[in-house]
Structure 1
Amino acid sequence: MHVPGFVVSKYRGEMSDPFVQIDRVDLRYGGAGGVLAVSDLTLSVNKGEFAAVVGPSGCGKSTLMRLVTGLHLPQSGAVTVGGNRVNKPVSIAGMAFQNPTMLPWRTTLDNILLPLEIVDKHRHRLRKHRAEYVAKAEKLLATVGLKGFGDRFPWQLSGGMQQRANLCRALIHEPELLMLDEPFGALDAFTREELWCVIRDLHAVSGVTIILVTHDLREAIFLADRVFVMSSRPGRVLNEHRIEFPRPRELDLIYDPQFSRKVQELHSEIADARQAA
């Protein structure tokens, strides 16, 4: 499935310098005697690249997300995004999580516009240029198949529709980096696969850098240019896999024997990481 009107481009990250760099990072929760969540964590993601992070439960995948967005700061090592060392929340990042957390008293459109009330770049011009931002939000809604649903409240939308709106909210302020933390994990298989195609096409036309954390190995392989496999806690990168399937990828790829072999390869690495804990 392609989003109507989308022209799919090739992955553009290979020619770029790293846009996200995590360099030998340690992070411990709860002070000196607390839990060491990640240790010597190192990885880099190029501008325009789609990267996925997989690993055993509790390996520090979500900690990695918080480090990159500046919600947590490392005790040692460094995190750099867009050439700037991260020492506060990263304003050029958009985030989407498993739970869409839409405010029930706001319409879908007003939920999507919410980040514009927070991000300095947009907050000061939102009132004067509201019509411009509303038009942008409505265009995003049409892109993800929700044209005409801007006046609906969250409780009037299915789970899949809420997650589509959640993606619009993450993109409304035109972030350079999109962080996806298990965004499709709570959805049924058919809806999940539909949204794989939506995010595939959004990435293709926008060129936004994406980091996806997921337990779904099929999802990682279908969407990503590279997949990073993390160890058990304390998390570090054990291996990275370049995904060579050509783009654009269609859903029937998941039934290809080579695709299945790649899923099994990742599964075996994660199983070994769990046993080594």
Structure 2
Amino acid sequence: MTPLVTIANVDMRYGGTGGTLAVKDLTLDVGKGEFAAVVGPSGCGKSTLMKLVTGLHMPQAGTVTVNGERVTKPVSIVGMAFQNPTMLPWRTTLDNILLPLEIVEKHRKRLRANKAEYVAKAEKLLETVGLKGFGQKFPWQLSGGMQQRANLCRALIHEPELLMLDEPFGALDSFTREELWCVIRDLHAAQGVTIILVTHDLREATFLADKIFVMSSRPGRILQERRVPFPRPRELDLLYEPAFNDMVHELRGAIAEARSAA
């Protein structure tokens, strides 16, 4: 499988030469169309990894390559979704989804010339995530789970080749979280987008991902790369299978060992 993302022997330090070393000798590959999850102890550098891949931070050593090009500036083929949807309360849900197209220069002219086309695309995304008819609602009229569904639409509106998810479901109740696991599972299957998920939830990682990277305590590096053996499409019944729970427990043990070794 051709890598879309390659991190090779990367060191990243915050605060200059005497600052905090967040990751050291970080190395991993994520293939085109893969769903990868990154797990590890708190403060291990998971969010730093996300910033390195998107070009929001540059490493002091090593290289980050996305879609065959070395990352030296923010990467344009990326969509991002975070734990907090941060939707603008004075804009409708539809207008919030279209916001990235107004900000990114190469999409701005196309949006002005083809507004109806992009509105139709946004409405289709809303339908895909179960929000058909909610485009004219304001964020304060939506539940937390509905806002996160809209947030996923916003991350996908410009058809990114890479989707970065940083704890996107962490603030939701368990029932809503599992509903959204199925939404992102179906989006991945339908669109073939490459996804990197940063999460503390080992059940989430095991249910969604093709492979899971386990990071060490700070400075973060990859301790394990685990392939997820369960065939797709995966249903929520999988969460109660012994083999699924065995894998979750093995991952928990690896993280506990990494934390104790810090």
Question: TM-score by structure 2 length?
Answer: 0.99
Q: Quick check: 1:148 aligned with 2:133?
A: yes
Find 1:261's aligned residue among 230, 246, 249: 246
Partners of 1:23 and 1:220 in 2: CA distance: 23
How many residues are treated as equivalent by the alignment?
A: 262
Given candidates 196, 220, 232, the residue that maps to 1:247 is 232
Instruction: Give distance in 2, aligned partners of 1:275 and 1:180.
Output: 27
Note the C-alpha offset of 1:42.
0.3
Matched, 1:78 2:63: yes
Supply the distance in 2 between the matched residues of 1:99 and 1:119 (Cα, whole angstroms): 21
- Structure 2 distance, partners of 1:41, 1:56, is 15
SS in 2 for 1:51: strand
- Aligned counterpart in structure 2 of residue 45 of structure 1, from 6, 27, 30: 30
SS of 1:31's partner is coil
Q: Which residue of 2 aligns with 1:171?
A: 156
**Which contiguous aligned blocks of 4+ residues in structure 1 show a shift greater than 4 angstroms?**
none
Give, in angstroms, the shift of residue 144 of structure 1.
0.2
- Cα distance in 2, alignment partners of residues 203 and 17 from structure 1: 17
Superposition pairs of residues 45-124 of structure 1, within 5 angstroms: 45-124=30-109
Q: Which of 151, 160, 163 does residue 145 from structure 2 map onto? A: 160
Paired letter, 2:154: R
Q: Name the SS for the 1:261 alignment partner.
A: helix
Counterpart check, 1:218 vs 2:198: no
Deviation at 1:139, TM superposition (A): 0.2
Aligned equivalents of 1:165, 1:121: Cα separation in 2: 23
Alignment RMSD, CA only?
Answer: 0.5
C-alpha distance in 2 between matches for 1:78 and 1:123: 31
Which residues of structure 2 form unaligned runs of 5+?
Answer: none
Q: What is the alpha-carbon distance in structure 2 between the residues aligned to residue 229 and residue 263 of structure 1? A: 12
Secondary structure of the corresponding residue to residue 173 of structure 1: coil
Partner of 2:179: 194
2:11 aligned with 1:31, yes or no?
no
Identify the match of residue 188 of structure 2 among 203, 221, 227: 203
The C-alpha deviation readout for 1:155-186, integer Å capped at 9, x for no partner, is: 00000000000000000000000000000000
Letter in 2 for 1:273: A
Once the two structures are TM-superposed, the CA of residue 120 in structure 1 deviates from its matched residue by 2.7
What whole-Å deviation, never above 9, does each CA across 1:17-58 have from its counterpart, x for those lacking one? 111000000000000110000000000000000000000000
User: 2 CA distance for matches of 1:149 and 1:52?
Assistant: 30
- Which piece of structure 1 moves more, 111-120 or 179-188? 111-120
Report what 1:237 is aligned to.
Answer: 222
- Taking the aligned partners of 2:248 and 2:193, their CA distance within structure 1 comes to 25
Q: Distance in 2 between matches of 1:74 and 1:31?
A: 11
Residue pairs, 1:3-14, within 5 angstroms: none
SS in 1 for 2:134: coil
Q: Structure 2 CA distance, aligned partners of 1:143 and 1:17?
A: 28
User: Shift of residue 75 of structure 1?
Assistant: 0.4
Q: CA deviation at 1:121?
A: 2.7
Matched residues, percent identical?
A: 81
For residue 124 of structure 2, the aligned residue among 139, 142, 148 is 139
Deviation of 1:142 (Å): 0.3
1:182 maps to amino acid: E
| 2:3 paired residue among 5, 18, 22 | 18
